[in-house]
Structure 1
Amino acid sequence: MEYQRYVDWVDDRIVHDSRRVILAFLVLTLVFAGGLGATSTEAGTQQFAQGIPENEALESINDEFSPTFTTDTGSTQLLQSGTNVLSRDAMLRMLRTQERLDDNEELRVTSTGSAAAVVAQRIDPEATTIEQQIDAIEHSTRTERKEAIRAAYDENPQFQSLVGVDFNRQSASTSATLGTVTHEVPEGLSGGAGQGGGSPLAPVQERADFTVQRGGGGSIETFGSAMIGTESQNLIMDSLLLVVPAAVILILTFLLFAYRDLADLVLGVVSLVMAIVWTFGFTGYAGIPFSIMLVAVPPMLLAVGIDFGIHSINRYREERVKGASVEGAMRITTDQLLVAFFIVAGTTVIGFLSNYASPLGPIQEFGLTAAAGIVFTFLIFGVFLPAAKVELDRLGERYPIPQFSQSPLGSEGSALGSVLRTGVVIADRAPALFLVGIVVLTASAGAYGAGVDTSFEDEDFLPPEDIPVYLEELPEPFAPSEYETREQLNFLEDNFESTQSSSATVYVEGHLTRDDALEEIYRAGDSPPDTFVEEDGRAEATSIVTIIRSQAERDPEFERMVDRNDRNDNGVPDDNLREIYDYLLDSSAGDRASDYITEDYRSTRVVYTVESDAGQGEVYDDTWSVAEDMRMTATATGALVVFAVIEDLIFESAVVSLAVALGATALFLVVIYRLLEGYATLGVANVFAVVVTVAMIPATMRLLNIPFNAITAMLLAITIGLGVDYSVHVTHRFADERAEHDLMTALDRTVRGTGGALFGSMLTTTAGLGVLAIAISVPLQQFGILTAISVALAFLSSLLVLPPTLVVWDALIHGDRSFASLFGVGRQRPAAANGAGYEGADTDQSPGLDEVRPADVGELGGTNDESADAATDDEPDGDDAGLDDEPDSRE
């Protein structure tokens, strides 16, 4: 492929027009910086539910089953705890809290309720206002209060739901009660599943909390869904404040080790900042909100940018230490690295864009943002950084700019090199046998990893129950916010029966005035599935049928109307249903009935109570089985059902993204290696090492008990995107070296030349991503740990699995080794004198690579030292830093 002219054109711009290149990139940075101000935030689980049919049905329910021309409402719960919160003082404290909230006009309170209010009305049925209820409690005797409490518990289901599960009837006491405050809100509230990051109710609940605490609520705390969303947003910002500085500190530490020069360090840091600004400026212009998933993008861009930067600076230094000029050294560097960076960026972008195959919007947005960031990183580190380095060194030749170490990273120690060449030893002795073992290990890991769990629930996006003490002691602004949501949710779950069960909804559309419409809805509750709560052989449910039967018990005239139209005497009318609905909506039960049937009598909902320990998947299956048995159009919905769908989509996203990423990456590498090197199969060999890494990730997740969730679902595709980086560097360098040397010499030079830079890159990448482990969000912690592990595995795979793979590939292409020798059988090494092998070929055991002496290098390549040096100076060494091409550096 005639690509060199394009590379040469870029080389010319970098070397001869470096100032113009720098200016152009700085102007673009200012342009992208303008998009940072347009970036919004989004938190919570609701963002994942958009576009899901079951969630659209739930939104339709909330839109349709509410009164027309009324303002939206939301509620705040008052959580009260103590030794006995039904004592006189405790009930007065609750009622006075309700009174303070009701008197605050900013809170738009429409009604309040509590166990104390129910008791007060038992004592004095005329006590309809909070002030009257306070008087009733204040002037009651202990005996009156106990009798009222017992009667309320026995006869009022609402009271039972407001007192704790430890209610003691004999002493009329409990350690927990609930109060409710209903507010009007000026804007619409979302009716979908899950909690969102922003709500018009949030400022109202924040003011309510302030009012309660200012009034000395003591044992009373406020809780509401909007507060959950607020904490979810705080979680994002707190995680960023922790992760980014920690990542910067770690990265600067490793950059100091890698560059060992202040000017180069500053240049690398400026390039990294530019990559971040470009990426998130792009999201601002593209209208992509910043969510908890995008917190993972900055560390990944930093990690990839560092990898590119280390390779660029070190490869440039290799040429400079040989005496090349600034311009000459940079032309050689960019001539080689632009191709390698293009391959790495291409495969990484494919890995990220594979997330676009997911039906979940936030995962798609993550893939697009990360892919754009990688393209920007490629441009900045492939063009801007080399141009800036050229200009910097030109200034250094004219002015006394302090310079420290300018030697390549891998040339200063042989101990690391000996370890890195382990894969070459394996490749030399029995590569095929080793690969058979790897295939078995990979298949076993894949089978084990197939059993990894999948999870999606609101709690995934909430802070953990306990924040580590060391985080709480951090100074501002790094100290995390105070999080109470998890504690309050646990309080509700532990103390109140109403939170021990949940519900599933069937949304029914059809002609509800048809004679058998209500009978069909009623029969749907017969023989309920296992996850539905059963009562008298039927599913416990609330529907328009239950509203009709309940009203008939209180309204004799309506009862007679129902009886006249009930053919089978089961309390469900069969005829004149329009007349029934008209009367019901005009009665005292009209408001409640409008929650279950629309004004045009074409839509209704049935809410089924489900068992508290039922799994989301089981509830989904059972709710759909009930819906599908109806002749009218029916859709299963409700939060549990929607979350079950999202949970399945997460797993599906992981599998589909993996398939797309592997397939597209393999195709890209096959095509690119065919065009660049003439061997399409070299791309297949390259992918094999990545497949091994990918198979290990689900197995690691299962071993560490980490499920696939909304964040970790992206991991497999990301592993391909980041992991292929290492294998591409090795394969690309091997192809260059193989064109000039025999097999084992080429492989040895490849691993020693690339290993040092890859090792430094691996350290910075795992540090940059592993720092997510200190994030407050548990899924984000898991993502950081797993991604760091995947990068480490990719590094090991590239240096242990890829060398034997390349030897087998080479044997199949060139036929230099027999089939038996690939399994370590009958292997014969030629004598060193023939220029093709290591010294010591006459011994039974081939020496390890750490035994190779300086003299061996010339013999391995079939040349003497001078010819080896000449070949090294002229040949394209590939994309890697860390190889001192002088023979003496190899000992």
Structure 2
Amino acid sequence: MARLDPQWFIDWADDKIVNHSRRVILTFLVITVVFGAGLSAVSTESGTQQFAEEVPAEEAFTRISEEFSPRFQEGTGSTQLIQRAPNVLTRGELLRMLEAQKRLSDRADLRVVQTASAATIVAQTLDPDADALDQQIRALELATDGEVAKAVRENADNPRFVGLLADDFNPTEPSATATIGVVTHSIPLAEEEGAGQGGDSPLSPIQQKAVRIVATVGGDISVFGSGIIADEFGTVITDSLLIVVPAAVLFIVVFLVVAYRDLVDLLLGTSALVMALVWTFGFLGLANIPFNQVMIAVPPLLLAVGIDFGIHAVNRYREDRADGYGVDDAMRKATDQLLVAFFIVTGTTVIGFLSNLVSDLTPIRDFGVVAAIGIVFTFFVFGVFLPAAKVEVDRLRERYPIPTFSQSPLGREGSSLGAVLRIGVVPALRAPAVVIVIALVLSGSAMWYATGVDTEFGQEDFLPPAEAPAYLTVLPEPFAPGEYSVVADIEFLEERFSSSQSGVVTVYLEGRATDDSFLQELDRVAQDPPETFISVDRRADSTSILTVIRDEASGNEEFARVVARNDRDGDGIPDRNLVEVYDALVLTDSAERGLQYISANYETARVDYRVKADADDDAVVADTQEMADRFRTEGTATGAIVVFDAISDLILDSAIQSLVLSMLGTGAFLIFVYWWTEGRPSLALANLVPILIAVTFVAGTMRLSGISFNAFTATVLALTIGLGVDYSVHIVHRFIDERVDHDLETALDRTVRGTGGALAGSMLTTVFGLGVLVLAVLSILGQFGLLTAASIVYSFLASILVLPSALALWDRLSGNDPVVPLGKPDHDTGGVATAD
């Protein structure tokens, strides 16, 4: 079958690199300026809301927000004041809470509508006429400690009062170690509300001011709310980048100094790295793709691949220079081999990244696209620009006294590194099949072990941990991160207020809301709820349009007559002319509340159910779906718990689908490329062996380390293929190149010493460059860095220890005579020795 000779493309690139190096350099600099203009347009997107896009449960949740929220009116938002003390029910601590409430209420810019707290209830118990905060403060100031204690005991059975106190509330000798105050603000109504939260909130400026105001009261009162959460979502990206990027640069520069051992080459390599980053993030701005938390991993990934390309390019060129070639010939010889290897690595890595396009989660898809584009840019920068710049610099060195340090290649013959790298050659020559069998058994065991890896998704994943690592607390400015309290407050509330905390799930109902039996159906479905639902007298604790109708009828005689007139069986639930009932409700004081549970056109409705705080999320989701299925009306289970659980399932699906697609795509690409470039498609099988081993070992490491699949680590298995294939491709391609002129043993030996040396330098630099992600403020970003660094180590070890045996087996099974080099005349047949 005729095929286009790839050597034509290589010769064309060689000509541009060697004969038109200055033109190439100028072209790349101009492109850098163009992409640099896009840097200022890069926007950021943070939080969990972006992950919820296109999730069916989230779409239902958003429709609820759109249909059941009063439009063109002011909305409300709340701020929680979390007070901690040995006893928050003492007169002094109660006064402190009331003072905090008053100082917030006195600020017009905080738009406070009302406040509530245990202190308010105690003060009004002491003085029932104390409606204003200053009156409540006065009542407490005039009361004795005994009177305060008596007022607390009187409210021991008050659910509102007890619900604001920690679980350790002791009514006998009134004490509690924590309490919650609630401040309600009037805010512009958001266009829509979702289960997740983004990195901006109309409450952010209000709650930041509240933090400063409450601090003036003294004591231990912290401010908590959606605005504080949004601020931490936004700042964690900047803080992580401020720590990760400088640390990565520091490690990379140190290792590049060791790898290049020449100042000029070091400057060329780092300039190329900067250029690749500018191109990628400039594209981000020009394409209007927001930078999200997952993309914090993009700079280290691009640095990892760029370092690898740079070390290989310089090291191979130095090998050819050491063999006596001049500048031009050495670069032509180096790029002849490396451009093909770089192309294969780029293709497989891009496939690994683009496999994330099958994900139903938008941030993961965006990450895959940006990372893939970045890898393509890296290919051009290090495959064309760096060689051209190296040629130009070395020509100048021949004409001018530019300082030159070491130009010897890594892993040269006789070096200690070269001896260590040969460790996989001896077993490959003696018992390659045994090595492969052992490797596959270990790989299979790791994959079996990895089946126990969990999946998780939650708001806390995108926020710093409750306790910051010690190294973060000692960092100087500007690297020192801000103070983060959200996760600590969330954990505190879950631990100390568990009895009063409960989750809420929602069933969204479409159609039949005006059918005569609809309200009775709401009542019927609530009977005998599932185990995870909170129940009262064997009925689900729920809120719906039926709840609003009952509440209004209990205090409004005129409306009660409308209900009775349309209640044929006298059970208090209207069962005919429901439109008349709804229309009558709209004319009452409960109109606004009613429109939160039935749409203005009466076509859709919602029912909120309270679920137990300690219930397993999977069980809650299953039970919510069961409740939705009980309705004859089309019901959709939704709510934050349901949405986050759905996202968790999608994360696992994304990890599996991208892994399968990446493996299949990589395999097909390698088969095509090796057929196109070498005429030996079966080489792809040998190439895939170390990749398979690396993937299974990374999966096993996840379970061993207690790391779950999350928004970050969901991409790591596909990335292992994309990054790990880099190491095996360089070995395979160098082996084929060496096998043309040498027997099997010599070809393997020269391959692992030459390319293996560059791989070792690349591996160490990449591992530390990616490993700095463990320093990030986000703990799951650190998990991603750990796993990615592990994947690099596994890929390197598999390429050095196992791949030589795979190549030896391929060499024998493909019909080669180990003595007759490939491409040399075969005197027995009169032809040329071939592989396939």
Other-structure match for 2:830: none
**What SS is found at the alignment partner of 2:87?**
coil
Contact 1:492/1:499, CA 8 A, preserved across alignment: no
C-alpha separation in 1, matches of 2:147 and 2:541: 35
Q: Kindly indicate whether residue 20 of structure 2 is the aligned counterpart of residue 17 of structure 1.
A: yes
Q: Structure 1 pair 184/563, CA: closer, same or farther in 2 (3 Å)?
A: same
C-alpha separation in 1, matches of 2:468 and 2:446: 34
Give the residue type in structure 1 aligned to 2:52: A
Contact 2:447/2:696, CA 8 A, preserved across alignment: yes
Contact 1:741/1:861, CA 8 A, preserved across alignment: no
Contact 1:552/1:558, CA 8 A, preserved across alignment: yes
Shifted more, 493-502 versus 174-183: the winner is: 493-502
Offset of 1:168 from its aligned partner?
1.6
Other-structure match for 1:179: 181
Other-structure match for 2:743: 742
Contact 1:745/1:860, CA 8 A, preserved across alignment: no
C-alpha separation in 2, matches of 1:266 and 1:412: 27
Q: Structure 1 pair 411/426, CA: closer, same or farther in 2 (3 Å)?
A: same
Contact 2:739/2:822, CA 8 A, preserved across alignment: no
Contact 1:493/1:499, CA 8 A, preserved across alignment: no
Q: Kindly indicate whether residue 72 of structure 2 is the aligned counterpart of residue 69 of structure 1.
A: yes
C-alpha separation in 2, matches of 1:32 and 1:674: 36
Give the residue type in structure 2 aligned to 1:87: T
Contact 2:229/2:486, CA 8 A, preserved across alignment: yes
C-alpha separation in 1, matches of 2:274 and 2:396: 23
Give the residue type in structure 1 aligned to 2:164: L
Other-structure match for 1:672: 673
The count of corresponding residues between Structure 1 and Structure 2 is: 822
Other-structure match for 1:616: 617
Shifted more, 423-432 versus 254-263: the winner is: 423-432
Shifted more, 120-129 versus 267-276: the winner is: 120-129
Q: Kindly indicate whether residue 18 of structure 2 is the aligned counterpart of residue 36 of structure 1.
A: no
TM-score when normalising by structure 2: 0.95
Other-structure match for 2:814: 813
C-alpha separation in 1, matches of 2:8 and 2:674: 18
C-alpha separation in 2, matches of 1:579 and 1:146: 51
Q: Kindly indicate whether residue 207 of structure 2 is the aligned counterpart of residue 205 of structure 1.
A: yes
Other-structure match for 2:480: 479
Contact 2:45/2:292, CA 8 A, preserved across alignment: yes
C-alpha separation in 2, matches of 1:565 and 1:186: 38
1:116-515 paired onto structure 2 within 5 Å: 116-155=119-158, 157-186=159-188, 188=190, 190-213=192-215, 215-411=216-412, 413-497=414-498, 500-515=501-516
Contact 1:22/1:384, CA 8 A, preserved across alignment: yes
Could you tell me which runs of 5 or more consecutive residues in structure 2 were left unpaired when the two chains were aligned.
826-836
Offset of 1:283 from its aligned partner?
0.8
C-alpha separation in 1, matches of 2:217 and 2:564: 55
Shifted more, 549-558 versus 433-442: the winner is: 549-558
Offset of 1:250 from its aligned partner?
0.8
Offset of 1:734 from its aligned partner?
1.4
Offset of 1:148 from its aligned partner?
3.3
C-alpha separation in 2, matches of 1:389 and 1:593: 73
Contact 1:616/1:643, CA 8 A, preserved across alignment: no
C-alpha separation in 1, matches of 2:162 and 2:567: 34
**What SS is found at the alignment partner of 1:622?**
helix
Other-structure match for 2:829: none
C-alpha separation in 1, matches of 2:273 and 2:447: 36
Contact 1:98/1:181, CA 8 A, preserved across alignment: yes
Could you tell me which runs of 5 or more consecutive residues in structure 1 were left unpaired when the two chains were aligned.
818-834, 837-858, 864-891
Q: Kindly indicate whether residue 60 of structure 2 is the aligned counterpart of residue 60 of structure 1.
A: no
- What is the root-mean-square deviation in Å for CA atoms of aligned residues? 2.1
Contact 1:122/1:148, CA 8 A, preserved across alignment: yes
Instruction: State the Cα deviation string for residues 615-660 of structure 1 (Å, max 9, x = none).
Output: 2222222111211221112110000000011000000000000011
Other-structure match for 1:527: 528
Q: Structure 1 pair 599/139, CA: closer, same or farther in 2 (3 Å)?
A: farther
C-alpha separation in 2, matches of 1:160 and 1:544: 28
C-alpha separation in 1, matches of 2:32 and 2:413: 37
Contact 2:65/2:193, CA 8 A, preserved across alignment: yes
C-alpha separation in 1, matches of 2:131 and 2:520: 39
C-alpha separation in 2, matches of 1:148 and 1:546: 32
* Fraction of identical pairs, as percent: 56
Q: Kindly indicate whether residue 51 of structure 2 is the aligned counterpart of residue 48 of structure 1.
A: yes
Contact 2:73/2:189, CA 8 A, preserved across alignment: no
Give the residue type in structure 2 aligned to 1:10: A
Contact 2:66/2:192, CA 8 A, preserved across alignment: no
Contact 2:816/2:822, CA 8 A, preserved across alignment: no
Give the residue type in structure 2 aligned to 1:198: D
C-alpha separation in 2, matches of 1:499 and 1:749: 70
**What SS is found at the alignment partner of 1:690?**
helix
C-alpha separation in 2, matches of 1:585 and 1:92: 41
**What SS is found at the alignment partner of 1:311?**
helix
Contact 2:413/2:753, CA 8 A, preserved across alignment: no
C-alpha separation in 1, matches of 2:758 and 2:817: 30
Contact 1:189/1:199, CA 8 A, preserved across alignment: no
Q: Kindly indicate whether residue 18 of structure 2 is the aligned counterpart of residue 2 of structure 1.
A: no
C-alpha separation in 1, matches of 2:420 and 2:501: 57
Offset of 1:612 from its aligned partner?
1.9
**What SS is found at the alignment partner of 1:695?**
helix
Give the residue type in structure 2 aligned to 1:401: I
Give the residue type in structure 1 aligned to 2:611: V
Contact 1:351/1:721, CA 8 A, preserved across alignment: yes
**What SS is found at the alignment partner of 2:453?**
coil
Other-structure match for 1:784: 785
Contact 2:6/2:676, CA 8 A, preserved across alignment: no
Instruction: State the Cα deviation string for residues 478-511 of structure 1 (Å, max 9, x = none).
Output: 1111111122112222222466321211111213
C-alpha separation in 2, matches of 1:512 and 1:158: 33
C-alpha separation in 1, matches of 2:604 and 2:360: 28
Instruction: State the Cα deviation string for residues 687-717 of structure 1 (Å, max 9, x = none).
Output: 1221121111111101111100000000011
**What SS is found at the alignment partner of 1:511?**
coil
Instruction: State the Cα deviation string for residues 264-296 of structure 1 (Å, max 9, x = none).
Output: 101111111111111111111111212221111
Give the residue type in structure 2 aligned to 1:550: D
Instruction: State the Cα deviation string for residues 816-841 of structure 1 (Å, max 9, x = none).
Output: 48xxxxxxxxxxxxxxxxx78xxxxx
Give the residue type in structure 1 aligned to 2:627: V
C-alpha separation in 2, matches of 1:71 and 1:718: 47
Offset of 1:608 from its aligned partner?
1.1
Q: Kindly indicate whether residue 123 of structure 2 is the aligned counterpart of residue 110 of structure 1.
A: no
1:483-882 paired onto structure 2 within 5 Å: 483-497=484-498, 500-814=501-815, 816=817
Instruction: State the Cα deviation string for residues 22-74 of structure 1 (Å, max 9, x = none).
Output: 11111111111111111111211111001111111111212222223202321
C-alpha separation in 1, matches of 2:249 and 2:681: 40
Other-structure match for 2:834: none
Contact 1:567/1:574, CA 8 A, preserved across alignment: yes
Give the residue type in structure 1 aligned to 2:735: F
C-alpha separation in 1, matches of 2:179 and 2:171: 15
Other-structure match for 2:832: none
Offset of 1:401 from its aligned partner?
0.9
Instruction: State the Cα deviation string for residues 517-549 of structure 1 (Å, max 9, x = none).
Output: 011112112221222123211222122222223
